[in-house]
Structure 1
Amino acid sequence: MTESGNPLLIASPLPHGLPDYPAIKAEHYLPAFRDAFAQQRAEIDAIATAAESPTFDNTIEAWERSGRLLTDVAHTFYTVSSADATPEIQHVDEELAPLMSAHSDAILLDGRLYDRVRQLHAQAGDLDLTDEQRYLIERRFTQMTHAGAALDDAAKARLTAINGRLSVLTTTFEKNLLADTNELAVVFDDVAELDGLGDGQISAAAQSAADRGMPGRFVVTLTLFTGHPLLASLRRRASRERLLEASRLRGSRDGAHDNRPVLLEIVRLRAERAALLGFASHAAYVTSDQTAGDPHAVADLLRRLAVPAARNAQREKAELTRVAEQDGPLPGGIGAADWSFYTERVRAATLDIDTAALRPWFEAERVLHDGVFFAATQLYGITFQERPDLPAYHPDARVFEVTDADGSHVGLFILDLYTRDSKRGGAWMNAVVSQSRLRGTTPIVVNNLNVPQPAPGTPTLLTLDEVTTLFHEFGHALHGLFATVTYPTFAGTNVFRDFVEFPSQVNEMWIFRPEILTNYARHIETDEPLPASIIARLEASSTFNQGFATSEYLAAAWLDLAWHSLSVDEARSVSDVAAFEAAALGDIGLDEPAVPTRYSSTYFAHIFSGGYSAGYYSYIWSEVLTADTVEWFDDNGGLNRANGDRFRTRLLGVGGSKDPLAAYRDFRGRDARIDPLLTRRGLEP
């Protein structure tokens, strides 16, 4: 294909480097990737074979300048492959995965390049460099060493083979999960089976059925995590049980979409790779280059929190049982499908809060503009203007231009709110373009959610969990928009995995702040604000059901750590996924059947197809910083520009160009303390 015939190989005509998605077809991607691979390999070869002694400019900065086309094509493609994975895009993804792995290995395992980087690393203290440049040498040296650049040729060959196979397996895992999630969507024949749902939710289920060629029926699609939001509202136990059973079956049935053999091979290969690199386990390998340092520190934190979390969950279960039995005997007692439903009953009785009844106050457009955007404007001075003239990768995805307080352009923000069969589950942020002074680029970031889309003309009313997710993911977006660095390696959210959730969690703090909540939580019909008495009760309920919430999260984090703490021999000996899960959860005391793990292994996309392997602990690890930061905001006047500017400048703005804990100390004036987290989750002794 000639350059003129491939829109990926020419500059986009759209502003700010936004890809010309309407012109890009699935068949354009692989040829563009092949050209981009060849281009960067030529650039790296020129660096590695240079006759001149290595300098920062001719080695490190030259590396940063390389691969511009590959970065652009990859960001463009992976945005689509996660959010609109048509069969054609899935085919490209499968073919691309081993090619991308091989290209990465060819660079990171290049002994000639490593020798130059190693020389600079040894001399770094004597070179006239900026702090960012010095840190970049450190990170590149660590990255190559961690990747295996110091290994002999035979070990490198095996490592490359492992990485190639893993790239195929992780892509297969995600493909299987997407297919099984769509296949297991629950079909209800009678609207009475959906008793308890609101009109908008029933409309969304009817629309989903119509879209699948089943008019007159109702389809409830599955979310990525185990517990479905509708479990809190469905009055019929049989309906709840059908929904939860479908959720937990994903990837664990014999047949084309069985993820059990896939994940077992992933675990074995990761263990073998870690051993090749000199580590006892994949968890040891991963955490060695995170703020945690080693898996023992992670295990200690998880065990420390598991005991009070499990204790609190048992107290909550006893209260749920008491409330449930007011309606008569509950066969089998409180089960996993009952927990959310009776939790809402208890919440209504003890706190006088019915979260399902709050949905009319959480209309999506109002939450976005008068909540999420409003809080960002108050804190940072930025404003948002929708750009319907700028096309995104899907008609549902909307583009907003972000402008700073001084009128300068910050970046573009794309919101893709609704679920669809071609979108993977969960919610996430990713970059389409990353900021870099070296490359002269400004950021374009995407937030994806999976909110059911109601029929045309029906307003989108969010659950409280969906409101939280929108604020959370926008915290990632702010990180991507505000990071202002020279080198692409440090752009946006390119920080240690166990630090990356910190900015997003901080952004959740504004959900219940009166000055924000009263601005966006207004009734869809009357425009009345959410009553102050309810706001007060929401704030007072911060530790409500935290035994369950903490336990289900810790169970998933422990499963991740358990799988990835296996040695080579141990990994080879595991053949029964369900038995391994049961033993791991029993080991930490989180094997309560009524509190299932947030993700079971066969649909644990974070660790088997995403970037969180041996890193799912990151959420609670980051939350130590988050809770400490909330305390700082409370002590220093809350939401105002001075506080926002300090947080933006000292944390969000540095991207990955500084050690994250050093950046936190610069912001906070000290290291974080764990006590605010224990209070926040009701885990004090």
Structure 2
Amino acid sequence: MDNPLLQEFNTPYQTPPFDKIKSEHFMPAIKEAIKEANHEIDEIANQEATPTFENTIEAMEFAGKKLGDVSSILFNLNSAETNEKIQAATREASPILSEFSNDIYQNEKLFGRVKEVFEQKEQLSLNKEQEMLLSKTYKSFIRNGADLNQKEKARFKEISKRLSELSLQFGENVLAETNNYELIIDDKKDLSGLPDSAIKQAANTAKSKGKDGKWVFTLQAPSFIPFMENADNRSLREQLYRAYMSKSNKNDKLDNKAIIKEIVTLKSERAALLGYATYADYVLEERMAEGIDKVQDFLDDLLKKSLPKAQEEVTEIKAFAKELGDDIDLQRWDWAYYSEKLKKKKYAIDDELLRPYFKLENVLDGVFQTAEKLYDIRFKQVDNIPVYHEEVTTYEVKDANDELVAVFYADFHPREGKRGGAWMTTYRDQYKVGGRTIRPLVSNVCNFTPSSPDNPSLLTFNEVTTLFHEFGHALHAMLGNGQYGSLTGAHVYWDFVELPSQIFENWCYEKECLDLFARHYETGDKIPQEYIDKIKASSTYHEAYATVRQTSFAMLDMAYYSMTTEEVKNIEDVAAFEAKAMAQTELFPKVDGALMSTQFGHIFAGGYASGYYSYKWAEVLDADAFALFKEKGIFNKEVAQSFKDNILSKGGSEHPMELYKRFRGREPKIDALLERAGLK
């Protein structure tokens, strides 16, 4: 079979030839690329030359490039444009790739060479990036079982293989649950309260599903959120909420409770094999936070500062509902509805007022202009780069000297083959080899309000901040300037990775930035100053509630992963475990069937296990860092250059606290976050 994945990519900038790749190409390519990678690894392990940094550590860094390219395409497609064949290929490939990785880390000859180089690191003249690569390579072997006995190694491999299968199944179940559900409305009076944009979108969805004359709402964010915020029909809000919060918790073939218990058990066992008391201890050893106690203290402090005010916010909403004549026992499906109404009353602002100023194409242009003003890079849309779906657009990113910085893929609307949420990913990281700098291929994937026959894609302000957030991640990947791909871009400590994304959101609230792109899609008028004032004034609205919510998720994450192997065995009921873990953060009565755990992809199908706290942790960093921009000017070239040089371009080449202190002149302080959130 003529397999495009195994050939040189004869495309602009050697981008993936999506127009030629078929589902059946993946497994043959994975198997062939593993053979090639094994040959390269064997050559490194079995060479007779004395181990050196160059012939062992650096050689390993560049081994298996073809396998990395093929697997990144497969797994990215499985998130952004999957189908049954791609899911099947991913399920087949995952355990094979896990076994390949384990074989490398448990290769005694190879580890012997790595260890020999590591033990003489003080005598080697290495720069900081080389020191980091050596340290990370050695630690990776230790943390992946290289020092275990043969029986333990075999068990370690079994666990890793099974975990790769389980995390995939978890994500597939949630995606299927999301795609399977429809709230079908055929009585127009049930649309009361909904904005025209949501009604039109629901009609378009119904039409696309062969249900002309009806309205269909789904569990995708652009459909779910407007309904929960605006629909007057309380029983339908309850119905949609229960469907959303019971994903993969119905005791059927898509149920994730047994998967959760097995994942938590296996991760705990794997950590114990390596000598760690808990999985969280294993993870946090390689984080800025360094340990469970520090994370727990951080979360406890956040909860202490936010919970009383969050309780006041809930009390206020209850009183407001009664003021409107709605004598109800406030439930979770009421929160967004009354919260949105009170916000409109307090600030005379809502999503529908702002949407006309946030046409997607204009917001994207604003993102590009912001990046250009800060970092002197330019974006040009091109149509000669193959894409995996017709909705994807591609851009050349170049610097002031017209040199390529990156290729950027933009994929912004929901569809059945795409998982929910928003993320940044890469098809190739930046690195240097043979005197050449290889530039990255970077993608943002989101699920924004789509266009309709009547209107272009008009974003909510929350979607605007999401776009800026994910583009902040993209800038981290684009502006990498390191030697080694495993240390560039977003390859940093997990509780540092959200700094570049979260800091970029701050520009959305500033007039100087909004004036670049926030124009009415019909009249071209700039967003009025009074709207900008309202955006800023309302930015702390229910921030305490949001902080408690995020903290509750982080506490749930830590509860699962800070148990010993003996304690893990006591999880009999996932719902009861979750209720206990989140008890001190609860602001509403429990809803039967509602469960966060069974859809918590971040910690069961993604990389955030023992790391969900990092969102709030990074908020401390981003608020503190942006305070310097505010002080000097949000487009101050000197501050921007410093952030680029010390944070964005450095990736994970040095310890993040050292990079941050180099930029800020000191360690971060929580004060800026508390002030911004109105919690000080």
Asked if these proteins are the same fold (TM beyond 0.5), I'd say yes
Paired residue for 2:293?
296
Counterparts of 1:107-118 in structure 2, within 5 Å, are 107-118=104-115
Whether 1:426 and 2:389 are equivalent positions in the alignment is: no
Rounded to whole Å, the distance in 1 between the matches of 2:590 and 2:550 is 10
Answer whether contact 2:488 2:649 (CA < 8 A) is retained: no
Rounded to whole Å, the distance in 2 between the matches of 1:225 and 1:659 is 38
- Equivalent AA in structure 1 for residue 423 of structure 2: W
Answer whether contact 1:81 1:90 (CA < 8 A) is retained: yes
Answer whether contact 1:118 1:141 (CA < 8 A) is retained: yes
Deviation at residue 365 of structure 1 after TM alignment: 0.8
- Equivalent AA in structure 2 for residue 44 of structure 1: I
Pairing partner for 1:148 from 141, 145, 149 = 145
Pairing partner for 1:378 from 348, 373, 378 = 373
SS of residue paired to 2:470: helix
Whether 1:612 and 2:608 are equivalent positions in the alignment is: yes
Counterparts of 1:74-223 in structure 2, within 5 Å, are 74-223=71-220
Paired residue for 1:53?
50
Rounded to whole Å, the distance in 1 between the matches of 2:224 and 2:576 is 21
Pairing partner for 1:412 from 407, 414, 422 = 407
Rounded to whole Å, the distance in 2 between the matches of 1:195 and 1:363 is 25
Pairing partner for 1:18 from 4, 11, 15 = 15
Deviation digits for residues 521-564 of structure 1 (CA, Å, limit 9, x no counterpart): 21122222221112112212232111111111111111111011
Rounded to whole Å, the distance in 1 between the matches of 2:130 and 2:223 is 44
User: Please, what TM-score do these two structures have when normalized by structure 1?
Assistant: 0.96
- Cα distance change on mapping 1:267 and 1:225 into 2, 3 Å: farther
SS of residue paired to 2:48: coil
Answer whether contact 2:660 2:667 (CA < 8 A) is retained: yes
Deviation at residue 594 of structure 1 after TM alignment: 6.4
Whether 1:679 and 2:675 are equivalent positions in the alignment is: yes
Pairing partner for 1:544 from 524, 541, 544 = 541
Answer whether contact 2:218 2:224 (CA < 8 A) is retained: no
Rounded to whole Å, the distance in 2 between the matches of 1:372 and 1:463 is 15
Answer whether contact 2:575 2:595 (CA < 8 A) is retained: no
Structure 2 residues without counterparts, runs of 5 or longer: none
Rounded to whole Å, the distance in 2 between the matches of 1:13 and 1:187 is 47
Answer whether contact 1:200 1:454 (CA < 8 A) is retained: no
Answer whether contact 1:250 1:602 (CA < 8 A) is retained: yes
Paired residue for 2:331?
335
Deviation digits for residues 352-386 of structure 1 (CA, Å, limit 9, x no counterpart): 222332111111111111x2111111111111111
Paired residue for 2:241?
244
Pairing partner for 1:528 from 519, 525, 528 = 525
Deviation at residue 129 of structure 1 after TM alignment: 1.9
Deviation at residue 644 of structure 1 after TM alignment: 1.7
Whether 1:666 and 2:640 are equivalent positions in the alignment is: no
- Equivalent AA in structure 1 for residue 300 of structure 2: R
Deviation at residue 395 of structure 1 after TM alignment: 0.8
Rounded to whole Å, the distance in 1 between the matches of 2:575 and 2:219 is 21
Paired residue for 1:355?
351
Answer whether contact 1:359 1:461 (CA < 8 A) is retained: yes
Counterparts of 1:597-608 in structure 2, within 5 Å, are 600-608=596-604
Structure 1 residues without counterparts, runs of 5 or longer: none
Q: Compare 531-540 and 458-467 and name the one that shifted more.
A: 531-540
- Cα distance change on mapping 1:398 and 1:257 into 2, 3 Å: same
Paired residue for 1:447?
444
Answer whether contact 1:287 1:294 (CA < 8 A) is retained: yes
Query: How many residue pairs align between the two structures?
Result: 677
Whether 1:577 and 2:574 are equivalent positions in the alignment is: yes
Deviation digits for residues 289-337 of structure 1 (CA, Å, limit 9, x no counterpart): 11111111111100111122221111111111222112213322x2211
- Equivalent AA in structure 1 for residue 654 of structure 2: K
Deviation at residue 143 of structure 1 after TM alignment: 1.5
Answer whether contact 2:217 2:223 (CA < 8 A) is retained: no
Rounded to whole Å, the distance in 1 between the matches of 2:208 and 2:257 is 31
Whether 1:647 and 2:643 are equivalent positions in the alignment is: yes
Rounded to whole Å, the distance in 1 between the matches of 2:658 and 2:651 is 12
Deviation digits for residues 472-512 of structure 1 (CA, Å, limit 9, x no counterpart): 00000000100111112112211111111110001101101
Rounded to whole Å, the distance in 2 between the matches of 1:609 and 1:640 is 40
- Equivalent AA in structure 2 for residue 323 of structure 1: F
- Equivalent AA in structure 2 for residue 366 of structure 1: N
- Cα distance change on mapping 1:399 and 1:657 into 2, 3 Å: same
Deviation at residue 641 of structure 1 after TM alignment: 2.5
Q: Compare 342-351 and 658-667 and name the one that shifted more.
A: 342-351
Deviation at residue 9 of structure 1 after TM alignment: 0.5
Answer whether contact 1:555 1:598 (CA < 8 A) is retained: no
Answer whether contact 2:56 2:114 (CA < 8 A) is retained: yes
SS of residue paired to 1:430: strand
Rounded to whole Å, the distance in 2 between the matches of 1:449 and 1:183 is 20
Deviation at residue 583 of structure 1 after TM alignment: 0.6
Rounded to whole Å, the distance in 2 between the matches of 1:330 and 1:31 is 63
Answer whether contact 2:17 2:386 (CA < 8 A) is retained: yes
Paired residue for 2:491?
494
Rounded to whole Å, the distance in 2 between the matches of 1:602 and 1:116 is 43
Pairing partner for 2:67 from 60, 66, 70 = 70
Rounded to whole Å, the distance in 1 between the matches of 2:128 and 2:60 is 18
Rounded to whole Å, the distance in 1 between the matches of 2:562 and 2:422 is 27
Rounded to whole Å, the distance in 2 between the matches of 1:121 and 1:595 is 53
Rounded to whole Å, the distance in 2 between the matches of 1:483 and 1:317 is 44
Answer whether contact 1:225 1:598 (CA < 8 A) is retained: no
Rounded to whole Å, the distance in 1 between the matches of 2:191 and 2:638 is 48
Paired residue for 1:559?
556
Rounded to whole Å, the distance in 1 between the matches of 2:603 and 2:631 is 37
- Equivalent AA in structure 2 for residue 569 of structure 1: E
Deviation at residue 599 of structure 1 after TM alignment: 7.8
User: Please, what TM-score do these two structures have when normalized by structure 2?
Assistant: 0.97
Whether 1:437 and 2:437 are equivalent positions in the alignment is: no
- Cα distance change on mapping 1:19 and 1:82 into 2, 3 Å: same
Query: What RMSD in Å do the two structures reach over aligned CA positions?
Result: 1.9
Rounded to whole Å, the distance in 1 between the matches of 2:381 and 2:418 is 23
- Cα distance change on mapping 1:60 and 1:411 into 2, 3 Å: same
Pairing partner for 1:34 from 15, 31, 34 = 31
Deviation at residue 646 of structure 1 after TM alignment: 1.5
Deviation at residue 443 of structure 1 after TM alignment: 0.7
- Cα distance change on mapping 1:524 and 1:606 into 2, 3 Å: same
Whether 1:638 and 2:634 are equivalent positions in the alignment is: yes
Deviation digits for residues 198-218 of structure 1 (CA, Å, limit 9, x no counterpart): 333222222222222322222
The percent of aligned pairs where both chains have the same amino acid is 39
- Equivalent AA in structure 2 for residue 232 of structure 1: E
Rounded to whole Å, the distance in 2 between the matches of 1:345 and 1:268 is 44
Answer whether contact 1:606 1:612 (CA < 8 A) is retained: yes
Answer whether contact 1:178 1:425 (CA < 8 A) is retained: yes
- Cα distance change on mapping 1:444 and 1:101 into 2, 3 Å: same
Deviation digits for residues 62-93 of structure 1 (CA, Å, limit 9, x no counterpart): 10120110111112212211101111111111
- Cα distance change on mapping 1:172 and 1:503 into 2, 3 Å: same
Deviation digits for residues 594-651 of structure 1 (CA, Å, limit 9, x no counterpart): 6999981000001100111111111111111111101111122221332222111111
- Equivalent AA in structure 1 for residue 652 of structure 2: G
Paired residue for 1:261?
258
